[in-house]
Structure 1
Amino acid sequence: MRILFLTYQGDMAGSTNSIAFLCRGLAKRGHQVYLGIRKESLLWQLVEDSNVVRVPMSFGGKFDLNNWKQIRDVVRQHRIELINAQSSHDRYTSIFANKFFGLGTKIVHTRRQMPLSLGGPVQRFLYNHWTDGIVAVSRQVKEELVKLGFNEANIKVIHNGTPTEKYAHIDMHKTEALRSKFAISENDFVLGCVSRIKNQIQIIKALAHVEQPVKMIFCGIEATEEMKEIIAGYRAAHQVFFEGHVEGDNILPYYKLFDAKILASTMEGLSQSLLEAMALKVPVIATAYAGNLDLIEDRENGLLFEDGDIEKIAELIQRVRSDQSLRNTLIANGKITALQKFNIDRTIANYEEYFQSLVTEN
């Protein structure tokens, strides 16, 4: 197959790595894979030593005629059979370029996050009539799309995956440097959160109900004034650190510090950070919502709480800290879940099969 991937983002750690492994995997399987991205994006670097052909593109908005022409030129020059748009901007540009220039290529969109809203009848028309399929990364994403009026028969669930080799060469020198930075001792309990701003305030509030001191490390955000105010009122001697944005694979050494990982998001289609934690034998606590429900079976490979249940979050933090038998279960089953059930090779094979079915249909 001749496939063009489009993404104007390319700098969001979880989705960026997913797209990189997907492109590289399909290219390794013998398909001709082209990737339209900005040259300054992280994704440009992540595929530079592969068989993926990088195509520099500019992105000026949904109605950027220059971007439409760039898509047109790649499709015609390389006889592209299918375009997979990986971010919201590209869903429009791929549709409009295909129709405006009469390219006749298949159009598939990937939805990586829960759809909070998706416009009105015009957008539903574009998705239901001018595209050939939508990939939803979890059952919950599909269900929400259907509720919004999108054609159920047009939506294929293909779970995100994570690669085994990603975890083979973690820089433990960086981990030790971080351990020293945060002055982590053998008796400390370290709770980690790896995410952009997504309901971390619930975790901050929950720590006020946790009696034993916790070292809490947030990767991906800076403290807000509301967070600072809550932290200042803690009775327990918690230490809370905000690391801001952490580049690419530099995040993996942090997981080696964590005794547990928590995610309070209701946006995740299927969380890469939860997969990373599980693969690295870190017990996970997450919202019983969205793709977390596809990934986590409560008390088997992770712990779930209802969105907004602050006291439950606190209870689970204390439980995963004190119950060694439970920790052992979550660690063992979590690793199997991440590296076997949600292995990236399955994701790549499922995309390959789905794309092939669309390309070969009449």
Structure 2
Amino acid sequence: MAGKDVKTILHLIDTTGPGGAETVFINLLKELQQTEFRNIVVLRGEGWVADQVRSLGITPQFIDSKGSFNLGYILGMKRLVVGESVDLIHAHLLGSNVYGALLAMMCRKPMIATFHGAVDVAAGERFLWAKFGIIGWGASTIVCVSKRLQEELAERSSLPARKLHLVYNGVDPELFCKAPASGLKEELGLPPEANLVVSIGNIRPAKGYDHLVDAAIKMAKLDPNTHFVVVGHQRPALFEKLKAQIRGAPEAPRIHWLGFRQDVVNVLRQADIFLLPSTSEGFSISTVEAMMAGVPVIATRSGGPEEIVSDGESGLLVPIEDSDAIVNAIQRLNDPTLKHQITEQALESAKSKFSLKSMLHAYQGLYERFM
């Protein structure tokens, strides 16, 4: 049981593996551990998220949440809220937002629901109208990680616009202040002069990796010194399609699929260019990380990136689904003056707008408002 003067927050997320939303979830917990709040974490199972939570000194609790409406999960959560004297519930992603809102109504507790991207609330989601209705009623406030997402939810959902609140995701700049890393080119068997175009993100449809492959096929003819490096979990069915796309190329593109890596920071610090080829993005934490790492950014106009990058100033923005535009942007960054100017401005912009401290301050304000 928590002391009367200590406020307890229950944190929920319905995924277990690594990703952008999950990284934000862990980063927020890390910062909150340095505050007066007591943090309780409930997950649906073991995995990367659970391991990261333990590394922060928090022992996660596991309650199975499978199914569209798991009564056992709700009752188990209710017992936890009462037994641990929870003061506020903070949930991330659609599934946990629904359960968190139900729990908030049952227990008469304030609740914050965070949405991380339009892909989390896709139109094909079952009973989406009902889920939006529950969240709209039960959540005290609904956080959107980009203005674009906030506008989309206001336009195409029943969520009350008055409850929608913008909080940008944050990155810790201290992670990227070390000397440049080394070893990636040697690991890949590449010469020192190789130009590395790095992309970070799990392989799924919204990440637009088919357009990255098209760009790599075109770059193979134009500049054999340019190599594309992709870091992220490889969903088998989609990855097979990408490999088939590569096999059909007239000349083999220079792409290195690294899969999931624990050393993303070190990989980014060795990149010459960061590429975000997404067709839809709520925010893109990896784009901010690249800016913090001093790597020039090429990103598609896929939603969130337009709020992070100023085209021609702190990065280069290109249309979605346009491999020619990606190729042209890569070639533009052969200009060392442009590359330097973009990198310097990007670093300054990322530190001022998208730091972890800024995100923590925004969430702390919400916690104090509702508790």
* Both proteins in one fold, TM over 0.5: yes
Could you say which residue in structure 1 is the equivalent of 2:75?
A: 69
Could you say which residue in structure 2 is the equivalent of 1:207?
A: 216
Gaps in structure 1 of 5+ consecutive residues: none
2:278 is aligned with 1:275:
no
Deviates more, 1:139-148 or 1:46-55: 46-55
The residue matched to 1:28 in structure 2 has which SS?
A: coil
Could you say which residue in structure 1 is the equivalent of 2:351?
A: 339
Tell me by how many angstroms 1:221 deviates. Answer: 5.2
In the aligned structure 2, how far is the partner of 1:88 from the partner of 1:45? 22
Deviates more, 1:296-305 or 1:211-220: 211-220
In the aligned structure 2, how far is the partner of 1:97 from the partner of 1:12? 26
Contact 1:288 1:306 in 2 (8 A): yes
Residues 319 and 227 (structure 1 numbering): CA distance in 2 closer, same or farther, change over 3 Å? Answer: farther
Residues 10 and 318 (structure 1 numbering): CA distance in 2 closer, same or farther, change over 3 Å? Answer: same
Deviates more, 1:54-63 or 1:183-192: 54-63
Match of 2:331 among 314, 318, 324: 318
Deviates more, 1:139-148 or 1:45-54: 45-54
Deviations along 1:128-168, one digit per CA (max 9) or x if unpaired, are 22321111001011011011132211111000000123335
In the aligned structure 2, how far is the partner of 1:57 from the partner of 1:170? 42
2:257 is aligned with 1:242:
yes
Tell me by how many angstroms 1:121 deviates. Answer: 3.7
Amino acid at match of 2:223: Q
Amino acid at match of 2:214: K
In the aligned structure 1, how far is the partner of 2:55 from the partner of 2:199? 31
Contact 1:204 1:231 in 2 (8 A): no
Could you say which residue in structure 1 is the equivalent of 2:319?
A: 306
Match of 1:145 among 153, 157, 161: 153
Residues 37 and 226 (structure 1 numbering): CA distance in 2 closer, same or farther, change over 3 Å? Answer: closer
Contact 1:82 1:105 in 2 (8 A): yes
The residue matched to 1:209 in structure 2 has which SS?
A: helix
Deviates more, 1:9-18 or 1:69-78: 9-18
Tell me by how many angstroms 1:342 deviates. Answer: 0.6
Aligned residues, how many?
A: 350
2:235 is aligned with 1:224:
no
2:107 is aligned with 1:103:
yes
Contact 1:170 1:252 in 2 (8 A): no
Deviates more, 1:132-141 or 1:34-43: 34-43
Match of 1:266 among 275, 279, 287: 279
Residues 166 and 37 (structure 1 numbering): CA distance in 2 closer, same or farther, change over 3 Å? Answer: farther
Tell me by how many angstroms 1:61 deviates. Answer: 2.5
In the aligned structure 2, how far is the partner of 1:216 from the partner of 1:32? 43
Could you say which residue in structure 2 is the equivalent of 1:31?
A: 37
Could you say which residue in structure 1 is the equivalent of 2:169?
A: 160
In the aligned structure 1, how far is the partner of 2:193 from the partner of 2:56? 44
In the aligned structure 2, how far is the partner of 1:353 from the partner of 1:194? 31
Deviations along 1:47-78, one digit per CA (max 9) or x if unpaired, are 32546453232222242222112211221122
Identity %: 20
Tell me by how many angstroms 1:326 deviates. Answer: 1.0
Contact 1:193 1:263 in 2 (8 A): yes
In the aligned structure 1, how far is the partner of 2:111 from the partner of 2:276? 33
The residue matched to 1:43 in structure 2 has which SS?
A: helix
Amino acid at match of 2:173: T
Contact 2:16 2:46 in 1 (8 A): no
Amino acid at match of 2:276: L
Match of 1:82 among 58, 77, 88: 88
Q: TM-score, normalised by structure 2?
A: 0.87
Residues 221 and 228 (structure 1 numbering): CA distance in 2 closer, same or farther, change over 3 Å? Answer: farther
Deviates more, 1:138-147 or 1:8-17: 8-17
In the aligned structure 2, how far is the partner of 1:37 from the partner of 1:226? 32
Residues 71 and 52 (structure 1 numbering): CA distance in 2 closer, same or farther, change over 3 Å? Answer: same
Residues 125 and 233 (structure 1 numbering): CA distance in 2 closer, same or farther, change over 3 Å? Answer: closer
Q: TM-score, normalised by structure 1?
A: 0.89
In the aligned structure 2, how far is the partner of 1:85 from the partner of 1:116? 18
The residue matched to 1:307 in structure 2 has which SS?
A: coil
Contact 1:24 1:51 in 2 (8 A): no
Contact 1:302 1:334 in 2 (8 A): yes
Tell me by how many angstroms 1:333 deviates. Answer: 1.6
Contact 2:180 2:269 in 1 (8 A): no
Tell me by how many angstroms 1:207 deviates. Answer: 2.9
Gaps in structure 2 of 5+ consecutive residues: 1-6
Amino acid at match of 1:128: G
Could you say which residue in structure 2 is the equivalent of 1:233?
A: 249
